[in-house]
Chains A and B, each alone.
Chain A
Amino acid sequence: MAKIAQKLVHFCTQKPKLIYGLVLVLALIFTAQIPRIQIDTDPENMLDAEHPARLFHNEVKKAFSMYDAIVVGVVDGQNEEDEELQKGVFTAKSLTDIYDITESILAIEGVVSADVMSISTVDNISQSAPGTISFEWMMNSPPTTDAQAQDIRNKLARLPLLQETLASQNGKAAAIYVPIYDKNESYNIAEQIRAEIAGLDGSAQWYITGLPVAEDQFGVEMFIQMGISAPLAGLTIFILLFLFFRNIPLIVAPMIVAMATVMITMGALIGAGFTVHIMSSMIAIFLMPIAVVDSVHILSEFSDRYKPGENLQSVIEEVVGHLFTPMLYTSITSSVGFYSLMLTPIPPVQIFGAFVGSGIILAFLITITFMPAYLSRMNQANLEKLQQVMHSENGGSKIAVFAKGLGRFALNNRILLLASFSAIFAVSVWGINQIQINDNPVRWFKQDHEIRVADTVLNNNFAGTYDAYIVLSNQNKFPQTSLLLEEAPESLNTWSASFIEENQSLSLNEQYQNLIIAIEDKLFDDINASEEAYLYKLLETVESQLSASKVFQSPELLAYISKLQTHLNSSGLVGKSNSLADVTKVVNRELRSGQQEDYQIPDSPQGVAQTLMQYQSSHRPDDLWHFVTPDYQKTLIWLQLTSGDNQDMTKVIESVNSFTQSNPLPENLELGWAGKAYLNVVWQDNMVAGMLDSLISAFVIVFIMMIVLFRSFVFGILAMLPLTLTITFIYGLIGIIGKDYDMPIAVLSALTLGLSVDFAIHFLERARETYQKTKDIKQTFDIMFDEPATAITRNALVIALGFTPLLFAPLVPYITVGVFLASIMAISALVTLLILPSVMTLAKRLVFGKSA
Chain B
Amino acid sequence: MLKLFPRVTLGLCCLGLISAAHAEIDVNDLVKESEKVAYYSGDDGRSDARMMIVDSQGRKQMRQFTILRKDVTDNGDQQMMVFFSRPSDVKDTVFRVEKHASLDQDDDRWLYLPALDLVKRISAGDKRTSFVGSHFFYEDVSGRAITEDSFVLEQETDTQYILKATPKKPDSVEFDYYRVSIDKTSKLPVLIDFFKGENDNYRRVEAVQIEEIQGFPTVVRSKVSDLTSGAYTLMEFRNISYDIGLDSDVFSERSLRNPPRQWLD
Genuine A/B complex:
yes
B115 in contact with A613 (CB, 8 Å): no
A657 beta carbon closer than 8 Å to chain B: no
Q: Which residues of B contact A613 (CB under 8 A)?
A: 90, 93, 132-133
A516 in contact with B123 (CB, 8 Å): no
B118 beta carbon closer than 8 Å to chain A: yes
Q: With A and B bound together, what is the CA distance between A65 and B129 in angstroms?
A: 20
A609 in contact with B116 given A128-B125, A131-B121 (CB within 8 Å): no
A616 in contact with B133 (CB, 8 Å): yes
Q: Which residues of A contact B229 (CB under 8 A)?
A: 114
Which one, B61, B123, B125, B226, contacts A630 given CB within 8 A?
B61
Q: With A and B bound together, what is the CA distance between A622 and B114 in angstroms?
A: 24
Q: With A and B bound together, what is the CA distance between A553 and B61 in angstroms?
A: 15
Closest chain B residue to A588, Cβ basis: B116
Q: How far is the CB of B197 from chain A (nearest CB, A)?
A: 7
A140 in contact with B87 (CB, 8 Å): no
The segment out of B28-36, B52-60, B207-215, B253-261 that lies at the interface is B52-60
A133 in contact with B55 given A510-B60, A618-B129, A619-B129 (CB within 8 Å): no
Q: How far is the CB of A266 from chain B (nearest CB, A)?
A: 41
Q: With A and B bound together, what is the CA distance between A571 and B217 in angstroms?
A: 64
Please report which residues of chain B, range 107-143, place their CB below 8 angstroms from some CB of chain A when the two chains form the complex.
Answer: 111, 113-116, 118, 120-123, 125-126, 128-134, 138
Instruction: Give A55-67 as 1s and 0s: 1 = Cβ < 8 Å from B's Cβ atoms.
Output: 0000000100100
Count of chain A residues with Cβ under 8 Å from any Cβ of B?
53
A621 in contact with B130 (CB, 8 Å): yes
B171 beta carbon closer than 8 Å to chain A: yes
A607 in contact with B115 (CB, 8 Å): yes
Q: How far is the CB of B59 from chain A (nearest CB, A)?
A: 5
Please report which residues of chain A, range 602-626, place their CB below 8 angstroms from some CB of chain B when the two chains form the complex.
Answer: 602, 604-607, 609-611, 613-614, 616-622, 624-625
A617 in contact with B113 (CB, 8 Å): no
Please report which residues of chain B, range 154-207, place their CB below 8 angstroms from some CB of chain A when the two chains form the complex.
Answer: 171, 197
Closest chain B residue to A540, Cβ basis: B88
Q: With A and B bound together, what is the CA distance between A546 and B90 in angstroms?
A: 12
B62 beta carbon closer than 8 Å to chain A: yes
B89 in contact with A591 (CB, 8 Å): no
Q: With A and B bound together, what is the CA distance between A553 and B113 in angstroms?
A: 16
Which one, B61, B111, B115, B132, contacts A602 given CB within 8 A?
B115
B96 beta carbon closer than 8 Å to chain A: no
Closest chain B residue to A612, Cβ basis: B133
Please report which residues of chain B, range 73-127, place their CB below 8 angstroms from some CB of chain A when the two chains form the complex.
Answer: 86-91, 93, 111, 113-116, 118, 120-123, 125-126
Please report which residues of chain A, range 623-647, place their CB below 8 angstroms from some CB of chain B when the two chains form the complex.
Answer: 624-625, 629-631
B3 beta carbon closer than 8 Å to chain A: no
B50 beta carbon closer than 8 Å to chain A: yes
Q: How far is the CB of A693 from chain B (nearest CB, A)?
A: 40
A198 beta carbon closer than 8 Å to chain B: no
A513 beta carbon closer than 8 Å to chain B: yes
Which one, A62, A134, A546, A592, contacts B123 given CB within 8 A?
A134
Which one, A107, A114, A604, A610, contacts B93 given CB within 8 A?
A610
Instruction: Give A462-504 as 1s and 0s: 1 = Cβ < 8 Å from B's Cβ atoms.
Output: 0000000000000000000000000000000000000000000
Q: Which residues of B contact A546 (CB under 8 A)?
A: 87-88
B87 in contact with A133 (CB, 8 Å): no
B228 beta carbon closer than 8 Å to chain A: yes
Which one, A132, A606, A630, contacts B120 given CB within 8 A?
A132
Q: Which residues of A contact B131 (CB under 8 A)?
A: 617
Q: Which residues of A contact B55 (CB under 8 A)?
A: 65, 622, 625, 630
Please report which residues of chain A, range 511-546, place their CB below 8 angstroms from some CB of chain B when the two chains form the complex.
Answer: 513, 516-517, 543-544, 546
B122 in contact with A134 (CB, 8 Å): yes
A421 beta carbon closer than 8 Å to chain B: no
Q: How far is the CB of B44 from chain A (nearest CB, A)?
A: 24
Closest chain A residue to B126, Cβ basis: A136
Closest chain B residue to A133, Cβ basis: B120
A710 beta carbon closer than 8 Å to chain B: no
Closest chain B residue to A130, Cβ basis: B121
A605 in contact with B89 given A133-B111, A611-B116 (CB within 8 Å): yes
Closest chain A residue to B118, Cβ basis: A591
B126 in contact with A135 (CB, 8 Å): yes
Q: How far is the CB of A152 from chain B (nearest CB, A)?
A: 16
B89 in contact with A609 (CB, 8 Å): yes
Closest chain A residue to B134, Cβ basis: A621
Q: Which residues of A contact B111 (CB under 8 A)?
A: 133, 614
Q: With A and B bound together, what is the CA distance between A363 and B118 in angstroms?
A: 80
A619 in contact with B130 given A131-B120, A602-B116 (CB within 8 Å): yes
A621 in contact with B133 (CB, 8 Å): yes
Q: How far is the CB of A128 from chain B (nearest CB, A)?
A: 4
Q: Which residues of A contact B134 (CB under 8 A)?
A: 621
Q: With A and B bound together, what is the CA distance between A604 and B88 in angstroms?
A: 13
Q: Which of A128, A141, A605, A617 has the most CB of B within 10 A?
A: A617
A113 beta carbon closer than 8 Å to chain B: yes
Which one, B113, B130, B228, contacts A618 given CB within 8 A?
B130
A6 beta carbon closer than 8 Å to chain B: no
Q: Which residues of B contact A606 (CB under 8 A)?
A: 89-91, 114-115
Closest chain B residue to A506, Cβ basis: B60
Please report which residues of chain B, range 30-70, place their CB below 8 angstroms from some CB of chain A when the two chains form the complex.
Answer: 50, 55-57, 59-62
B62 in contact with A516 (CB, 8 Å): yes
Could you name 14 residue pairs across A and B whose Cβ atoms are closer than 8 Å? Answer: A65-B56, A129-B123, A133-B122, A513-B61, A546-B87, A550-B89, A588-B116, A592-B118, A604-B115, A607-B115, A607-B116, A610-B116, A619-B130, A630-B59
In addition to A135-B125, A592-B118, 9 A-B residue pairs with Cβ atoms within 8 Å of each other are A133-B120, A134-B123, A135-B123, A510-B60, A513-B87, A543-B86, A616-B132, A618-B130, A629-B59
3 pairs of A and B residues whose beta carbons are closest in the complex:
A616-B133, A134-B123, A606-B115
